[in-house]
Structures are given as structure tokens and as C-alpha cells.
Amino acid sequence: MRIKKVDYFRKFRAWGSIYMNQYPHEDPSIFQNNLEKVITWAETLDLPEEDETDVFCGKIWRALPEAPEDIIKAYGYVQIDIDKSYCLSRLLYCGEELRTIPCPEHKGRWGFIRDCICGDSGFLPND
Ligand SMILES: [Zn+2]
């Protein structure tokens, strides 16, 4: 999937803005601050204006060991959520935008629903 650099980071931020709403027991600002730190650092890297999603992910991944310690720490906080997110994966690898219409039954709650058109998202597909 080819993606523009601006869209790659825009989609990361869009995902981050809704992600913690799914977990109201945690302080969303901690997650969002850590994610924003990593994104802001990654934006300073020498990245193409447009390329395959994997190229962006790979270049950022390979640059991380050389990143300042606070970035590595921030990445450690958000990494598992990035890795396991079907939502982020759809945004980056399938060209989707954030879904906006809640499923009538699952009402926007994320889960592992396999017998509904909303899939794991709790939202109806955009098209
Ligand atoms: Zn549903």
C-alpha cells in the first residue's frame, strides 16, 4: 500500500486521538503524549514524500536504536498498542480512514467480533 508521508503521520495521530477512548480507565493524555513524542521525532527523519507503508515503518524502526532515550521510552509505552491494533493496520495498510458510524449493535466498542460487518471495530465500514 503506497501512502504519502503526511498521511502516514496524520493517520497515526487520528488513531491516537481515538485509541484511548476505548480504555476510559486509563489516562488518555499519557498515551497520547508518548505517541506524539514518537511521531514528532519520526517526522524529523529522512523519509520519502510517498512510498510503501512498510518503507516508512522499516525506516522508523531502524532509526529507533539511535533515538534519544526519552523517545525510546515513549515508544516502549505505545509499541504494543501499535503492534496489536487492527484499526491502525486498516488505516496504514488498507487505505481506510477512521470509521465514523457506530455499528447499531456494537456501538463503537472495539472487541473481537467476527460475526458482524463491523468486525473488531464496532464501527461500520465507510463505503
Ligand atoms: Zn457490529
Same-domain pairing of 63 and 8: yes
Whole-number pLDDT of residue 39: 98
d(CA 120, CA 127): 17
Ligand 1 mean position, distance from CA 126 (Å): 14
Range of the domain at 62: 2-96
pLDDT at 25 over 70: no
Q: What is the mean pLDDT of residues 19-43?
A: 85
Q: What is the mean pLDDT of residues 18-45?
A: 85
Same-domain pairing of 12 and 47: yes
Predicted confidence band of residue 23 (pLDDT cuts 50, 70, 90): low
Of all residues in the chain, the percent with pLDDT exceeding 90 is: 63
Structurally, how many domains does the chain consist of? 2
Same-domain pairing of 52 and 28: yes
Ligand 1 mean position, distance from CA 52 (Å): 31
Q: What value does the CA radius of gyration of the chain take, rounded to a whole number of Å? A: 15
d(CA 11, CA 69): 25
